[in-house]
Amino acid sequence: MDKILLLFLFLLPTSAPKGSHSLCLLATYIKGPSPFPELSGVMMLDDIPLLYYNGDTKTFFMRGNTTAEDNVFDANAFLSIIGHIQSSFVDRWGLASRDLNKTDRIFTLQQLVLCELSEDGEHGKMISRDAVEGTTTDELQHVDHKFTYKHTLNVSAYLIDFYLELTKSLHKTLFQPTCFKTLSGYLIQRRNQINRKVKPKVRLFKKELSSGFIVSCLATGFYPRHINLTLLRDGQPVSDHDVTGGDLLPNGDGTYQMRKSLEIRAEERQKHKYSCSVKHLSLDNKLHVDLDFDHSKPFQSVIPSVLTVLALLLVFGVAAVIWKRKCRDSVKCGYSAASTSVENMETT
């Protein structure tokens, strides 16, 4: 099941070029025993989920809309695109099933349809990309009125040409006009979401190892997802070959995080000063945020705290001794007074 969940994500678009936005529809077709619908679809604006489509019930589940968006989303056009994609899936399943020994296994087909639009409204690239079992099989790009087609299909040239001409026709008559129109509408309707900026929270910390330590820089809670995080040694960027991490990961609240780490040998501990620099759209004038790494001698920074604790223990210890002595004297005095009173009563 985890593998199937990953297949839903592998075709999601990479970040759109700076100053542009993308709209994508990812359709997934599953044959075999699975908890998922045989046909499903997800539509996203940049990295914001807009809707989910369940092919079994033929229903839409809108996401994140706070106002009516009927004037933006054309359900009939969407269903027409899904219908063409489903027909393509069925044809490919028919070809692929002849090469499958087991019919009870899970078999997955996916198609991504994506378009990009610049901030000033200029049309960018249009892409349709197909995949079988998690591997891209062919991709058609339309940029500046030119088509570029790449494939790894093991079928006859006749079928390739037929499929290519069909896809080109769909691009011109259905995919492109619907995608760009829908994207333009959502850029207006969801402008607060796509234009929001959240500053990253940045931490630089170390972890002790037997052979040295690891310096890690973590930036989290930022939006949008474009970020430039750099580890520095003495003010100079550390080579990417020496750095681990750097993957962009989502947080549960819709923001993102990124971590980069560098392993340092023990003998280099006192030789260099480490810091990290962050550039993000939420920072004024794209300023660097530098955090100095504490490279002082081991335990030097905790000595004042230890001395403070010892002093407090000494004060409390002395106070306890004095209190005990006073308490003991009070008991003796009370005992003597009681004895005198008893003696006086007996004399009387």
CB 114 within 8 A of CB 23: yes
| Residue 66 neighbours by CB distance under 10 Å | 9
Q: How many residues does the chain have?
A: 348
- How many Å apart are CA 89 and CA 81, to the nearest integer? 12
Looking from the CA of 72 toward its CB, the CA atoms found within 13 Å total 18
Statement: residue 52 has pLDDT above 90: yes
pLDDT number for residue 154: 81
Q: Note the pLDDT of residue 17.
A: 55
Residue 347 tokens, joined: 């004399």
Ranges 7-16, 113-122, 180-189: which has the least confidence: 7-16
Is 96 a residue whose pLDDT tops 70?
no
By the 8 A CB rule, do 277 and 289 touch?
yes
Most confidently predicted of 39-43, 161-165, 238-242, 274-278:
39-43
Q: How far apart (Å, rounded) are the C-alpha atoms in residues 47 and 255?
A: 10
Dihedral angle sign, alpha carbons of residues 324, 329, 330, 331: positive
The per-residue pLDDT of the chain, averaged, comes to 79
pLDDT given at position 322: 72
Residue spans of the domains in the chain: they are 2-194, 201-300
Instruction: Identify the pLDDT of residue 37.
Output: 92
Distance in Å from the first CA to the final CA of the chain: 98
In sequence order, the 6+-apart residues with CB closer than 8 A to the CB of 236 are none
| ∠ Cα 316 321 325 (to 5°) | 145
Please give the Cα distance from 24 to 172 (Å, whole number): 16
226 contacts 280 by C-beta, under 8 angstroms: yes
Distance CA 276, CA 236 (A): 10
pLDDT tens digits along 148-160: 999 988 888 888 8
**H or E stretch covering 262:** strand 256-265
What are 294's two structure tokens? 């504490």
- Of 167, 208, 203, 212, the closest CA to residue 290 belongs to 203
Q: Which of 101-110, 203-212, 299-308, 313-322 has the highest mean pLDDT?
A: 203-212
Q: What is the pLDDT of residue 295?
A: 44
Each residue of 261-286: pLDDT tens digit? 999 887 776 678 888 899 998 888 65
With cut-offs at 50, 70 and 90, classify the pLDDT of residue 300: very low
The 3-state secondary structure of 147-211 reads: EEEEECCCCCHHHHHHHHHHHHHHHHHHHHHHHHHHHHHHHHHCHHHHCCCECCEEEEEEEECCC
Measured at the CA of 183, the angle between CA 182 and CA 189, to 5 degrees, comes to 90
Q: Are 262 and 191 in contact (CB under 8 A)?
A: no
Quick: pLDDT tens for 180-191: 999 999 999 998
**Residue 287 pLDDT:** 54
Q: Is the pLDDT of residue 334 over 80?
A: no
Q: What is the DSSP string of 5-67?
A: HHHHHTTS--PPPTTEEEEEEEEEEEESS-SS-SEEEEEEETTEEEEEEETTTTEEEE-S-SS
CA distance 85 to 111: 7
Q: Whose CA is closest to 190, among 304, 44, 329, 332?
A: 44
The answer on pLDDT for 325 being more than 90 is no
Answer whether the bond into residue 237 is a cis peptide, omega within 30°.
no
What is the CATH topology of the domain spanning 2-194? 3.30.500
Q: Which is more confidently placed, 138 or 343?
A: 138
Neighbouring C-alpha atoms within 13 Å toward the C-beta of 22: 21
Structure confidence at residue 264 (pLDDT)? 86
Q: By percentage, how much of the chain surpasses pLDDT 90?
A: 37
Q: CA-to-CA distance for 49 and 205, rounded, in angstroms?
A: 34
The two tokens of residue 43 are 């539509």
Fold of 201-300: Immunoglobulin-like (2.60.40)
